[in-house]
Structure 1
């Protein structure tokens, strides 16, 4: 019967239109047409698809429109995949790109099983990630504002006698400095105000995150990651808000590949050549991971700050974090002693650090589940 055959559907999604193509089983791929993006248009499309087959598989590319369409289709009982655009198979000589051809290509790739799915977070996880990303972008804006002011002072041969680390003394000096020229003072004041505005916004968002994170389902993993060296609250929240659920990775190598810190490779025949890291996947999480890895260039030790973050955390997690520190600090020193550049060594440390993050985050969630079961 026709209803027992799977209907494969490809959607080329844009802000105001969706181009639909489909194939019934192994039959010919056809274009259904172009529809709007309103709820009424989606409902009409769903009725048409349901009339063609009982089993329907839908795919569209991940993009700026997010996961709202996927959730709407999933709520209606369809199997909908959001695929990674960079991993869609493409012919080397294909130089023609249209909405129609993209939809047809998605159908063929879905039927062949050549597409890689993107993890679709829950509404709550996405909301928490949105807050964390705004916080991260505000910190970047603060960094750019500070650099703009430093460049302005340098261009006018103005130098601070102490350490320009934006501490209390440095900020007091900036607030009292004057060029003696009304126009320059106005420009300098605007640059200074931009820094203060971004700094206030960062504090406000960090306070909101600290209030929100205990209500997040992955809060135990946030606490567990903070037992590690180089992973403070900001890094733990930033990493987990992007990774979301580490248990979706069956092996730490999958997390390393998702972070884009595995070496690229070109092997053929008996030769095997490895190059720089792939840099695929999530760039923000990769940036936070590399920053955390730099702290392992020092001798292994538990500072008072790390000791404070250990409070209330199960001993098995603390011991695992110490094992990670011993291994990674020692490996960094050995690599540098062999002549490896520090940047190369840090990337290697970051790759192994991702494995420990995978293990410790899972361990933190398991401990929290066991504790809740024991309480019941």
Structure 2
């Protein structure tokens, strides 16, 4: 006796999950099953009840703050489950009613018709390291904010650093030696400086933790290989790999470029072809990292001492890809600038091609399964 396929839509919230079921077939019945607490035990109870009726389940829910716990739990039990991108869920024009029951019903119906776009669910070890990387990024942003506040505070007092570069050793010494006209202002400056030093210390601790956590990571060979590229240091390589996961899941580099949102948007019809800014879809953390790394290709191609050190012990195929990347991207940067292209547009184009070389290196490095 063949099993009955049922598509299960889960509208997941912090405290509750609304469940809807769509039967197989275009005209299959769609109904709301009910609402349960967001608890794995209650989810198991519902799934066992549905499976006991000779059903094959295909579950789906939206990506959100609740993470991938439910997806991993159901997958480990042999139940098909996908997580979909909320921004890519089709919506009817003019539909002004939204509630949990309708959201769950829409998920079940659209999953049955194949109109949903699943997101990549990272491996649990990948997500653990990704949390460290994202925490470092958040603290780096906080440090940048504190530095801006210090600059603004000092400028309001009519003081300005006369040196060439800010946040150098000379600039920090100058800030430490400043005498404010009022004791309360001196306290404010001291608190700002202490906050900046605290952020610096936290960043260093996190970087040590990232290095230690990478040692037994299955994707460590890819991280080491990516550092052969110019502009890709350890933190940049770990960020890219933790955000994107196993890059061999992309069959072609153009798929990776589109996933990163680095391809131009397009609105064409008939003979009219109109392309606009990049789509900015997909993973913003990895895209931002590649944009920053692409800045280094504005300089002539060369292997610095730091790059040669990072390349020690890497396969010849990886070294060749990295050098070809330098030759091509440095030349392309100069050529596009000579054509009068905007600097940001050029850097984005370089980042897009850089992702292609990253894809090639990832496929050239064997990883443990």
Compute the displacement of 1:42 (Å): 1.4
* Structure with the bigger percentage of helix: 1
Whether the aligned pair in 2 keeps the contact of 1:163 and 1:170 (CA below 8 Å) is: no
Mapping 1:265-276, distance limit 5 Å = 265-276=266-277
**1:135-194 deviation digits (Å, cap 9, x = unpaired):** 111111111111111111122221112134322222222222221311101111111111
TM-score, normalising length from structure 2? Answer: 0.96
- Cα deviation, residue 285, structure 1: 0.8
Deviations 1:190-244 (A, max 9, x none): 1111100000000000011111212111111111111111111121111111111
Partners of 1:136 and 1:217 lie apart in 2 by 23
CA RMSD of aligned residues (A): 1.5
Q: Could you tell me which residue of structure 1 aligns to residue 19 of structure 2?
A: 20
Matches of 2:101 and 2:49, distance apart in 1: 19
Extract unaligned runs of 5+ from structure 2: none
Alignment of 1:1-376 (within 5 A): 4-26=3-25, 27-363=28-364, 365-366=365-366
Contact 2:40 2:70 in 1 (8 A): no
Using the TM superposition, give the Cα deviation of residue 70 of structure 1 relative to its aligned residue in structure 2, in angstroms. 0.8
Further displaced range: 194-203 or 139-148:
139-148
- Of 269-278 and 195-204, the range deviating more from structure 2: 269-278
Distance in 1 of aligned mates of 2:121 and 2:56: 21
Q: Matched residues in 2 for 1:155 and 1:356: separation?
A: 47
Q: Secondary structure at the match of 2:67?
A: coil
**Corresponding residue SS for 2:144:** helix
Asked whether the 8 Å contact 2:21–2:108 carries over to 1, the reply is: yes
Q: Secondary structure at the match of 1:209?
A: helix
CA contact (8 A) 1:6 1:55 kept: yes
Deviation, structure 1 residue 92: 1.9
- Structure 1 runs, 4 residues or longer, greater than 3 Å off: none
C-alpha displacement at 1:76, in angstroms? 2.2
Structure 1 unaligned regions, length at least 5: none
| SS across alignment from 1:34 | strand
**Matched residue SS, 2:239:** helix
